[in-house]
Chain A
Amino acid sequence: MNCHNCQENCCPKNKRNFWNLFGVGSKKSVKNNVTKSQSTVALVGSPNVGKSLLFNLLTGTYVTVSNYPGTTVEVARGNRIIAGSKVSFFDTPGMYSLIPITEEESVARDLITDEQVDLIVHVVDAKHLGRMLNLTLQLIETKLPVLLVVNMIDEAERLGIWINENQLSHRLGIPVVAMAAAQKVGLKKLIAQVADYVPSNSLSLTY
């Protein structure tokens, strides 16, 4: 545990190659890398809710996606231009609560508490909404901007579960987007919502 604090800087230099092998691709140390000039969005949530898949969809960068919890162990970073400005997305290892139990959970938590991200996108599995809202509530308590993505609505519907986006949004007081990321359902809506948190500079560019 004594290496806890220097996690990001004490790794061998050529480590990236080896991570890339099993898809923890393009992982970088996030610390000191967040430039304030561009917006940053962190994707967080329990393991295996589809954060990495959503990250791939949003940024076009590939990180390994598996139907296996714990595939992502480090933070990945990728960009997308939204409303004319560059937005950096962070894919994070799964976490159940703001208080981490294992080392890789603390990676996501540190990103939230130590870096000033402009938006936290909490991704949850529509099939287990109640259980996962716990973390949503904790995130809302931090007073950071939070957006809830209810993912896998297709699988939930097959189980006879429907989510009322508006009602959920009303109760939580944050924007909610229902998605089936594997089918790209809801992606446009999510991007439109994210755009609200991005300072748009397109005006100055066009004129």
Chain B
Amino acid sequence: MSPQILYPSPIETAISRIESLLDERWQDLISRRSIALLLLQQDPKIRSQLQQQPYFPEIERIIAKTQASMDESLTYAIAQSRHQIAMDIDRDATVNLRKRPIVEDEWLHNLTVHPVTGIPILLLVLYFGVYQFVGVFAGGTLVDGIEGFFESQINPIVNTVVGSIFPWQVIQDLFANDYGIITLGIRYGVAIVLPIVTAFFLMFSFLEDSGYLPRLSLLMDRLFKTIGLSGRSVIPLILGLGCGTMATLVTRTLESKRERIIATFLLALTIPCSAQLGVIVALLSQEPSALFVWSTVMVGIFLSIGFLAGKIVPGESSCFCMEIPPLRLPRIQAILTKTYVRLKWYFWEIMPLFIFASVLIWLGKLTGIFDLVVRGLEPVMLWLGLPQEAAPTFLYGFFRRDYGAAVMFDLHSAGILTGQQLVVAAVTLTLFIPCVAQLQFMFKERGAKNTVVIASFVVLFAFSLGYLLNQLLTIMELSF
């Protein structure tokens, strides 16, 4: 016995009249009663499907007449009837001993969302989770260890072995020496990116499963409202810290086109994804004052650009409503599985690119194109106050920001980049186009026109800001 919900009688009359109008083809999909109800609630999809039918005007008349006979809106009346039955069944089938929610939970929840306590908690999470764990531990200790091992043990062996197999210098350079597939591409992937990204994924998975992220969205919501952005856009932006490509896809959850464009734009310009954030933070953690300048600049840009975008892109901001899940103690097993799955996919995606980059450098060097492009970028580097060795960084940045960051890591350990140059390069690279994949998704979700506008702005803005920052740091005579 299925519970037939009885709606107020004008609606019931309308339902049966619409039901009798509908033709045969609805028979085997969902029930006619359902279709009629969807029509009465102005469901856009069913409406567009029926638009061509000869009886559609008649349906429209029925709906209009029914609406006229009711005091409240049809959608509301229908929802209300359902709600009452749902609540009645709920009361009937559940035993609720304690009407109030558990106090301790609420207490912890309030701590994380109230600005006074929430912001210090956020800073603690960032300090211990990101700075200490990802930056100092993974980026410093682990990378030093693995990189050192690679440089001192593996690379010499590879160089010797490759040297003895191939007598030609050209082929040797493809696999070994300074830019070889094994000595550069795989070393970057395994020694620099792997430890950092693993640490970051572990931490991010932990935060995700604990239920902290929705609370972070709530906390940020207040901040966002003050700069004129809707709170809903916090969700994709926070997810963007995980993967910008995914987050661009999640901008679908935003209601208005305006919000989607702003969020896509902010994702492309200011939000680094976990891999990039991990590598950049780990890199800058070697110089804490550089990390401080970088984060101040990034937050500053995010807020001001968000504010401006909110002003420029027309439209109303919509209301924020989100399910807040309970805080949970994450299960180790779940975190490990998730980190493993993400890591696996991340590696499948980047390793070929890293190897491809090595081959590209090799080809470029062989043909002289590489030197040509680097020389072309030289004025830009000079403009930013960067050594010309940094030029390839941006070249690779087109493929992936994290690869570019790994190159920077290498340059810094080699002593080529000074503190100030490091900050300028890091800021410019963070602002730069995220990666080919994200660009592709922007294209798919937002269309060609928006993507071209956003991408050209991002490139221009990244270099201009790098220039300004370099000038500013020089004038202020800040040294790192």
Residue pair B255, A116 in contact (C-beta under 8 Å): no
User: By the criterion CB–CB under 8 Å, are A11 and B3 in contact?
Assistant: no
Q: Which B residues, 260 to 281, have Cβ-Cβ distances below 8 Å to chain A?
A: none
Across the interface, name the chain B residue whose C-beta is closest to A115: B29
Is the CB–CB distance between B252 and A22 below 8 Å? Answer: no
Contact B246 A182 (CB under 8 A): no
**A43→B134 CA distance, assembly (Å):** 37
B208 interface contact, C-beta 8 A: yes
- Residues 131-172 of A, flagged 1 when their CB comes within 8 A of B and 0 if not, give 101101110111110000000000100111111100110011
Q: Does B385 contact A (CB under 8 A)?
A: no
The residue that B93 contacts in the complex, of A20, A70, A134, A171, with Cβ under 8 A, is: A171
Give A7-42 as 1s and 0s: 1 = Cβ < 8 Å from B's Cβ atoms.
000111001011111111100000000000000000
Partner of A69, one of B79, B255, B322, B334: B322
Contact (Cβ within 8 A) B83 A21: no
- Of B33, B38, B94, B102, the residue contacting A98 (CB under 8 A) is B38
**Contact between A112 and B30, CB atoms less than 8 A apart:** yes
| Nearest-neighbor residue (CB-CB) of B94 within chain A | A163
> B225 in the interface, Cβ–Cβ < 8 Å?
no
Query: Which A residues touch B86, using CB under 8 A?
Result: 130-131, 133-134, 136-137
Q: Is B178 an interface residue (CB 8 A)?
A: no
Question: How many residues of chain B get a CB closer than 8 Å to chain A's CBs?
Answer: 74
**Category for how many chain A residues contact B:** 35 or more
Q: A70-B250, A141-B31, A158-B102 are in contact. Are A11 and B444 (CB under 8 A)?
A: yes
Q: Are A134 and B30 in contact (CB under 8 A)?
A: no
Name the one of A10, A68, A114, A130 contacting B325, with C-beta atoms under 8 angstroms: A68
A67-B208, A103-B253, A134-B86 known; A47 vs B328 contact (CB < 8 Å): no
Most chain B CB within 10 A, of A67, A131, A162, is at: A67
Cα A66 to Cα B252 in complex, Å, equals 18
Interface stretch (choices B137-145, B165-173, B341-349, B455-463): B341-349
Given A65-B334, A73-B252, A98-B38: A48 and B3 interface contact (C-beta under 8 Å):
no
A173 contacts B334, CB within 8 Å? no
Cα A155 to Cα B249 in complex, Å, equals 31
Give the residue name and chain of the B residue nearest to A113 (CB): B30
Complex interface bits, B20-61 against A, C-beta within 8 A gives 1, otherwise 0: 000000001111011001100101010000000000000000
> Is B116 among interface residues, defined by CB-CB distance under 8 A?
no
A21 and B253: CB pair below 8 A? no
Is B214 an interface residue when CB atoms closer than 8 A count as contact? yes
How many angstroms from the CA of A17 to the CA of B249 in the assembled complex? 14
Our pick among A24, A62, A140 for the contact of B2 (Cβ within 8 Å) is: A140
Beyond A21-B346, A143-B30, A172-B2: 9 further Cβ-contacts under 8 Å? A15-B440, A21-B342, A67-B330, A68-B239, A130-B90, A141-B5, A161-B95, A171-B89, A173-B1
